[in-house]
């Protein structure tokens, strides 16, 4: 009974755990960055900092979803990855076209340049991984 289905077991084991590590990394990075920015200088760039905070919440939700790995967890992770992809593409494009709206950077600015473009690649890997694991 303790054994889940194959898909349940594979999604958060092996390579899946590497993905969880990356999401956890971004959850910590975005949370601490947004936290300090909101505390120290909220007025300077409220939109940028609130977006960073939103990104942080999405990363945390995705991490929990991937780690729980049951049906609900996978759906939560899938939704989070999609929001993340839309977010990084939208904010990335907006930060280039209307830079005056972003006096300070967010995690997703210029498609995640400040984080080696990992914010752009990560949701894609997540979606591919969830699809593959879901079939297994």
The minimum distance between CB 48 and other proteins, in angstroms, equals 10
Number of H helices, E strands in the chain: 5, 0
Q: Which of 82, 121 has the CB closer to other proteins?
A: 121
What is the token pair recorded at 74? 């996978």
Q: Which of 20, 81 has the CB closer to other proteins?
A: 20
- Name the DSSP letter for residue 1: -
Pick from 104, 110, 117, 121: which binds other proteins (CB under 8 A)?
104
Helices (H), 42-117: 46-68, 71-97
The minimum distance between CB 18 and other proteins, in angstroms, equals 5
Binding marks (x or -) toward other proteins, 7..46, rule CB under 8 A?
------xxx-xx-xxx-xx--xx--xxxxxx-xxx-----
The minimum distance between CB 103 and other proteins, in angstroms, equals 12
- Name the DSSP letter for residue 4: -
Buried b (16+ CB within 10 A) or exposed e, 66-89: bbbbeeebbebbbebbebbbebbe
Binding marks (x or -) toward other proteins, 73..102, rule CB under 8 A?
------------------------------
- Name the DSSP letter for residue 32: H
- DSSP helix/strand/coil, 135: helix
Chain positions contacting other proteins, by CB under 8 A: 13-15, 17-18, 20-22, 24-25, 28-29, 32-37, 39-41, 49, 104-105, 114-116
């Amino acid at each position: 009974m303790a054994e889940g289905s194959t898909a349940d077991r594979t999604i958060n084991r092996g390579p899946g755990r590497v993905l969880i590590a990356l999401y956890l990394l971004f959850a910590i990075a975005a949370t601490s960055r947004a936290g300090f920015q909101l505390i120290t200088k909220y007025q300077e760039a409220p939109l940028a900092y609130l977006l960073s905070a939103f990104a942080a919440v999405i990363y945390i939700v995705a991490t929990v979803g991937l780690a729980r790995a049951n049906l609900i967890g996978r759906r939560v992770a899938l939704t989070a990855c999609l929001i993340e992809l839309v977010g990084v593409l939208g904010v990335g494009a907006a930060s280039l076209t209307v830079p005056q709206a972003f006096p300070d950077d967010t995690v997703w600015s210029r498609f995640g340049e400040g984080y080696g473009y990992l914010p752009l690649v990560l949701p894609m890997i997540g979606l591919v991984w969830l699809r593959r694991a879901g079939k297994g």
